[in-house]
Structure 1
Amino acid sequence: MKVNTLKSVWMFIILLGTQAVMAKSITGYVKEASSGAALGGVSVMVKGKAMQTMTDEQGYYQVNAELGQVLVFSLGGFATVERIVGQEAQIDVALQIEQVEIDRNTVPIRNEVYAGEYAIKRGETLTAYVGGGVHVRPMMYRSATMSSSESYRKIAENKFVRTTTEPLSTFAADVDAASYSNVRRFLNQGQMPNPDAVRVEEMINYFTYDLSGPTNGDPVRVVTELTQAPWNTQHQLLRVALKAKDIPSEKLPAANFVFLIDVSGSMGSSNKLPLVKSSYKMLVDQLRDEDRVAIVTYAGSAVVALESTSGKEKRKIKDVLDALQASGSTAGGAGMTKAYQIARAHFENAGNNRIIMATDGDFNVGESSDEEMEKLIAKERNDGIYISILGYGMGNYKDSKLEMLANKGHGNYAYIDNISEARKAIVTEFGASLFTVAKDVKIQVEFNPHFVQSYRLVGYEHNLLEAEDFNNDEKLGGDMGVGHTVTALYEIIPQGVKSNFDGSVDDLKYQENSKSKSTINNKELATVKFRYKEPDGEVSKLVTHVVNTKATPLAQTSQDLRFATAVAELGMLIRNSDYKQQANFDQLIARAKESRGKDEEGYRAEFVRLAQDAQALYKADR
C-alpha cells in the first residue's frame, strides 16, 4: 500500500509539473493587415475558457495559455483570427477588414450611415454590383475600428439662428475637457474620431487661458472679444469667457473624498486599471492631513476596500490601490450607491464632499441604464455631494454615459489616455477639477438685431437651455472650479451680409418688425448675462456685461483667442462640420503656432502636432 501511495504522489507531482510547463504567458502585437497600423481594443481570448484580455493602444497584449489551446482575436469590422499556442512565447496577428455584401446596384448616402463599422461621407454614392461582394475600406469619418462597441451621444450641430425671431441664446457653462483627450487618442492611433466624439467646446476648454479673475467679490468674471471669423472673414466671431476666482491650496476647504473604482474584467488592460492606480496615487500626494479618503470598488458587487482614512496616511491608501485586481462583471449602480453612503457618513460641513469615479463606463449588472443612473445621482446632488468622472480605455468605452453622470452629478469629466493626462487633470488642475466655487452657471446672450443678422453657438449642443430656463433656479447649469476658465465662441453674420446659412424669410405680416426698435441701442452688439449659485446656495445671482460693436482684427486679438479659433477650426474639420466653410488645416496650424505663448507644459505644442497628424490622415482618405 505504501508503494502504491508513494507512486500516486509522484505521479501527481509530475502532472502538476507538466501543467506548469504547459501554462505560459503569451505576448504579441495586433495590427491592421492592409496598413500595418496598430489595433487597440482587440479582444484576445482563450477559446472555450473565461480567460480574456484586450490589446492596448499600441496593439500589444498579454495572456496566459497552455500548449495546444486556441487564441481567438476579434474586433468589430475585422475578420476573426484563431491561432494555436505552440512553443513560441510571442504570437503576432494581422487582422483583415471584413467584406460587406451589398445587394443593391446603387446606394445613395445622404447622412452619416454605417455599414458595419464604416461610415460613408455625406453626399457620396456607394456603388455595388448585384451578386458581388464589395470590399469597403474604412473612410475618414468611419466609426473608428478601435471603437466598435464605444457609445457617444449624438450631436445635432447648432445652426445659424435669425436674431429677429430668436434673439436669446442660453446654455449651461461646461468646463469638461474629456473630448479633447479622447480625440487625441483616436488621432494617435492613426484614426479619425467618430464625429459624435468631437465636442468642439470641450476641445476649446481643454486649454487654460490667461484671464484675470474677479476683483469685486464675485466668484466668476466675464470677458468678451469680437473679431472676424478666420474660416469666413465676412462673418464675425464673439468670444465669451468666464474666469473663476483663485484660492490658494492651503485655504481650500477640507475634502471628504470617496474613490469609486471599476475593477471589473473589462478594466484589466494596461491603459485602464494600472493607469487608474497611478492616477489616484498622484491624487493621494495632493491630500492634506485634514482631508479624508475612502475607497469603494465594484465588479460583480460593491466592496469597501478602505474605510474613510486621513490624508496623512498616504502609504496606507496607496497600498490598498496597489492591491486592486480586475475581474468579474460590472455592478456600477451598487458601487455608486455604496460610495454615496460612505460620503454621507463622513459628510464635511462647509467642506468638499465628492465621489471621484474611475471607469470605462461599461456597466452591465444592476442599475445600469442612463436613466437609472441619473435618478441615482439626482437624489444625492442636492445634499452637497458632487461626483467627478475619470474615464479610461477604449473598445468598450461609454462616453455617452460618463458625460451624463458628470453633468447630472454637479461634477466634471476627464478622459485619461496616458499618465501625462492624469497629471494634468489631477495634479496641475487639482483645485479647478475638484473644488467648486460656483455651481449651476448659466450663460444667456441677447443679440441686437440692428447689427446681428444671425448667430451660431459653436459647440455646447448637449448644454443648450430654453430661454426661460435661465431664470429658473430648478434647472441645472454647469459648475466651475477654483481658477477655472470657460470659453464659448459665437459665429455672427452681420446685418446686410448675404448668406446661405441663415434661412432668411420675408417679414411677418401680423408681427411687429423688430428692426425698427433695435436702433435704441445702436452701440451695443449684445448683452451677456450669467447666473450662478454659491457652492452651498440655492438662489442664483445675476451678472451682466455689454458687448460693443467695435471688432478687433484677428491678428491684433489676444493670443488666447487666436489659439481658441485654431482649436475650434480643427474640431469643425475633423467632425466634417456643415459650417466649416473655408476652414483649412494650413491656416489653423499656422495660427496655432504663432499663438502658443509661454506653453510651459507643452499642451499647445502638442495640439499643433495633432493638427498636423489630422491633416495627414485627412489627405490620406481623400
Structure 2
Amino acid sequence: MNLAPRRPAPAVPLLVPLAAALSVVLALAGCTAQDAGSDTTTETTTLTAPDTAPLPDGAQALDGASAPEARGDQSFVPPYPEPYPEPGPVEPGGEEYDDSPESPFLDVATSPLSTFSSDVDTASYSNLRRQVNQGVAPEGVRIEELVNYFDYDYPAPAAGAERPFSVTTEVAQAPWNPEHQLAMVGVQATEALPTSEGNNIVFLLDVSGSMDEPDKLPLLAESFALLVEQLDERDRVSIVTYAGDNRVVADSVPGSEHGVLVDHLRSLRAGGSTGGAAGLTTAYELAEKNFVRGGNNRVILATDGDFNVGPSSPAELTTLVEAERASGVYVSVLGFGMYNLKDSMMEAIADHGNGNYAYIDTLAEARKVLVDEFGSTMFVVAQDLKLQVELNPAVVGSYRLLGYDNRRLADEDFDDDTKDAGDVGAGHSVTAFYELVPAGSDGSTGSDGDLEYSDREVGTSDDFMTVHVRYKSPDGGPSAASTEAEFPVGAAAYTTTPSADFEFASAVAELGLIATGSEYRADANLDGARARAAGALGADPYGLRAEFVDLVDAYRAMG
C-alpha cells in the first residue's frame, strides 16, 4: 500500500467550451469531427482494451494483453474533459434524492439536547458542482456534506492521546442574521493509520446499460485504476460486475499486480439491466471468503444507483447491508453520471453499511477521494461516532442544527450501543454548525431534568453548551462498548474575529442555505458568502477553496 502524500490537483475550470467537449466525446466514440455525420454506430464506453473473443452468458472480458498506454502507466492521460461538457436540463424524475425536512429552531426549555450521527460523506458537494451547469435539485443539497468536503486546520490529537480525535469549538455572530450567533463544532480524527494486515477490497462495479455514458463506465475504470496504483503485495483485490446477472472478474488478486487489475477494468463493457442486490450479495460473500483479520475489509460499490432487477428500494437494500454489517466488511459507495442518478439509494447503502459516499464527476475528484484521501476513505479510527449537544438555557434561548437532516437521532439513541452511527476515517474532520438565539431574546426560560445545566439558576453558568461525543474503537467488534467524552463550550469560545476556518466553512453553509431554499436563510446572500470565502482561502494547496469561490460565481450565473 503506497500512502503517497496528497498533491495539489490542477486548477479546473467549471465550464468546458462546447466545441472542445464535442471533440472529446467524439474521440471517446472512436470517430473524428469529420465522421460525426456518418451513420456508423460505434461503442462509446470503452477505452483501449484487450482483444478478446466474446464470452458466453454475458460474462465480462477478463484476459488478454492490452496496449502499452492502457497498462496504468503514470504518463497515460485518459481523454476526459474535467469537468464534463455542459449538459442539458435534467429531465423531471430522472434523479432521485432524499428530501428530509430541515431542523426548525427548538426552545432550550423543552428541547435542551440535540443528537446526531457523524457524517463524512462528500457526494452532495461534487454533485452540486456538476449541477450548476444544468439546474440544482434543492433536495439533493446536504449542507453538512458541502461543509465536510473541505479540510480545516483543526488541531489533531497528539500522538498517544486518549482519544483518536480532538474537538474544536468557536462561536461568533451569525453572518446571515446579526441578532443570532453561530457555533461551530469541529471533530478532527487522528491522521495516524491503524495497524493493518493489508486491504481486502472488492470492487463491485455496475456494468448495466445505464452506465453506457462517457461520464460513467469509462470514468469509473480510470478512477479505479488510480486506486489500484496505491496498493501493494499485502493487499488483495477482487472484482465483481453486475448487470442482468453478476460475474466474478477477479478473486483475491495481489494489489501489486497493477497491470492485471487495470486491464480488467479497461476491458469492461456496459449493457443489460441492473441487478445490484445480487451483486452486493456476491461481493459480500467474496469479501468474507477472503477476510483479513486485522485488515481493512471493504466493498467499494460504483454505480449510478439505477437498480431495476430484484430488491431495488432503499429500504430493501439497507436491510441487506445491515444484515452483513456484523461481518466486519464495510461498504463505500462511489456515484457516477447524471440524468438518472439515484442519490438516495447510494447514500442509504453507505450510511447503513458502515461506509462513506462520494460522487465522482471528474478524474480530479476521483484522485481526491481515492488517492489524496486514501487513508481516510479506507481506514476507520472511530466507529459509530455520535454527538449530543446540551444547550445552556442561561445563555441560549433557542437553536437549530444546520444540515444533518437525515442524520438526526433520538436523544436516547446516544447511549444505545446497538444504534448505528457514522464511522470516521484517519484524517477525516466532521464539522457542524448550530445557529443560536441568545437567551431572553425570544421569551424562553430555563429547562428542567437531570442535565448538566438544569440544576443551576439562570445566570450561574456562562457556557454556551457542552458537546458530548460517544464512539467505539474499530478493533472492538460490533458488540464493543462505546466510550464517551465531553467538551464544554464556555464564554471564551465567542470571538468577534472568527478564524479563517470558521469564515470559510460558514460561507459554504451559507451557500447551502441559499441552494436549499431554507426557510431560515434570513439575509443569506451570495455576495456575503463569496466575500467571506475569498478572504479565507489560506494556503489552499489543492485549490479547493478557490474552486468554491468559482462555484459561487457559477451558481450566481444560473440566475
Residue 566 in 1 paired to residue 511 in 2? no
Residue 308 in 1 paired to residue 249 in 2? no
CA distance in 2, matches of 1:456, 1:325: 48
Q: Which one-letter code corresponds to 1:300 in the other structure?
A: G
Once the 2 structures are TM-superposed, how far is the Cα of residue 289 of structure 1 from its aligned partner? 1.3
2:471 equivalent in structure 1: 532
1:201 equivalent in structure 2: 144
Q: For 1:446, what is the secondary structure of its paired residue?
A: strand
Q: 1:327 to 1:587 in 2, by over 3 A?
A: same
- Contact 1:384/1:536 (8 A) holds in 2: no
Q: 1:394 to 1:256 in 2, by over 3 A?
A: same
Once the 2 structures are TM-superposed, how far is the Cα of residue 57 of structure 1 from its aligned partner? 13
- TM (normalized to structure 2)? 0.82
- Contact 1:144/1:194 (8 A) holds in 2: no
CA distance in 1, matches of 2:169, 2:445: 32
**Match runs of 1:374-453 below 5 Å:** 374-453=318-397
1:582 equivalent in structure 2: 523
Q: Which one-letter code corresponds to 2:142 in the other structure?
A: R
Residue 244 in 1 paired to residue 157 in 2? no
**Match runs of 1:64-83 below 5 Å:** none
What is the RMSD computed on CA atoms of the aligned residues? 2.8
Once the 2 structures are TM-superposed, how far is the Cα of residue 453 of structure 1 from its aligned partner? 0.3
Q: For 2:231, what is the secondary structure of its paired residue?
A: coil
2:240 equivalent in structure 1: 296
Q: For 2:406, what is the secondary structure of its paired residue?
A: helix
Once the 2 structures are TM-superposed, how far is the Cα of residue 371 of structure 1 from its aligned partner? 1.8
- Contact 2:394/2:459 (8 A) holds in 1: no
Q: 1:257 to 1:507 in 2, by over 3 A?
A: closer
- TM (normalized to structure 1)? 0.74
Once the 2 structures are TM-superposed, how far is the Cα of residue 288 of structure 1 from its aligned partner? 2.0
CA distance in 2, matches of 1:397, 1:151: 7
Once the 2 structures are TM-superposed, how far is the Cα of residue 212 of structure 1 from its aligned partner? 1.8
Q: For 2:399, what is the secondary structure of its paired residue?
A: strand
Q: 1:253 to 1:220 in 2, by over 3 A?
A: farther
Q: For 1:277, what is the secondary structure of its paired residue?
A: helix
Once the 2 structures are TM-superposed, how far is the Cα of residue 272 of structure 1 from its aligned partner? 0.3
Once the 2 structures are TM-superposed, how far is the Cα of residue 585 of structure 1 from its aligned partner? 1.0
2:52 equivalent in structure 1: none
CA distance in 2, matches of 1:352, 1:557: 39
Once the 2 structures are TM-superposed, how far is the Cα of residue 561 of structure 1 from its aligned partner? 0.9
CA distance in 1, matches of 2:23, 2:119: 28
Q: Which one-letter code corresponds to 1:205 in the other structure?
A: N
- Contact 2:399/2:434 (8 A) holds in 1: yes
- Contact 1:392/1:417 (8 A) holds in 2: yes
CA distance in 1, matches of 2:155, 2:108: 31
Identity value in percent: 45
The match for 1:211 among 151, 154, 157 is 154
Residue 287 in 1 paired to residue 228 in 2? no
Once the 2 structures are TM-superposed, how far is the Cα of residue 315 of structure 1 from its aligned partner? 1.0
Q: For 1:454, what is the secondary structure of its paired residue?
A: strand
CA distance in 2, matches of 1:386, 1:181: 23
- Contact 1:164/1:515 (8 A) holds in 2: no
- Contact 1:436/1:535 (8 A) holds in 2: yes
Q: Which one-letter code corresponds to 2:472 in the other structure?
A: K
Q: CA deviation digits over 1:564-587, x for unaligned, max 9?
A: 000000111111111111111111
Once the 2 structures are TM-superposed, how far is the Cα of residue 522 of structure 1 from its aligned partner? 1.2
Q: For 1:426, what is the secondary structure of its paired residue?
A: helix
Once the 2 structures are TM-superposed, how far is the Cα of residue 551 of structure 1 from its aligned partner? 5.0
Residue 164 in 1 paired to residue 109 in 2? yes
Once the 2 structures are TM-superposed, how far is the Cα of residue 169 of structure 1 from its aligned partner? 0.2
Q: For 1:433, what is the secondary structure of its paired residue?
A: helix
Q: For 1:463, what is the secondary structure of its paired residue?
A: coil
Q: 1:429 to 1:568 in 2, by over 3 A?
A: same
1:592 equivalent in structure 2: 533
Once the 2 structures are TM-superposed, how far is the Cα of residue 155 of structure 1 from its aligned partner? 2.3
Q: Which has the larger radius of gyration?
A: 1
- Contact 1:57/1:271 (8 A) holds in 2: no
Q: 1:266 to 1:394 in 2, by over 3 A?
A: same
Once the 2 structures are TM-superposed, how far is the Cα of residue 528 of structure 1 from its aligned partner? 0.4
- Contact 1:261/1:359 (8 A) holds in 2: yes
Once the 2 structures are TM-superposed, how far is the Cα of residue 146 of structure 1 from its aligned partner? 5.0
1:546 equivalent in structure 2: 488
Q: Which one-letter code corresponds to 1:531 in the other structure?
A: R
Q: Which one-letter code corresponds to 2:184 in the other structure?
A: R
Residue 318 in 1 paired to residue 262 in 2? yes
Q: 1:270 to 1:437 in 2, by over 3 A?
A: same
Q: Which one-letter code corresponds to 2:315 in the other structure?
A: E
CA distance in 2, matches of 1:279, 1:87: 32
Q: For 1:202, what is the secondary structure of its paired residue?
A: helix
Q: CA deviation digits over 1:2-22, x for unaligned, max 9?
A: xxxxxxxxxxxxxxxxxxxxx
Q: For 1:539, what is the secondary structure of its paired residue?
A: coil
1:265 equivalent in structure 2: 209
Q: CA deviation digits over 1:488-516, x for unaligned, max 9?
A: 00000001225xxxxx68999xxxxx988
Once the 2 structures are TM-superposed, how far is the Cα of residue 424 of structure 1 from its aligned partner? 0.4
CA distance in 2, matches of 1:235, 1:87: 63
Once the 2 structures are TM-superposed, how far is the Cα of residue 267 of structure 1 from its aligned partner? 0.4
Higher RCO (CA-CA < 8 Å; seq separation 6+)? 2
CA distance in 2, matches of 1:294, 1:87: 40
- Contact 2:242/2:274 (8 A) holds in 1: yes
Q: 1:86 to 1:467 in 2, by over 3 A?
A: closer
CA distance in 2, matches of 1:165, 1:59: 58
2:48 equivalent in structure 1: none
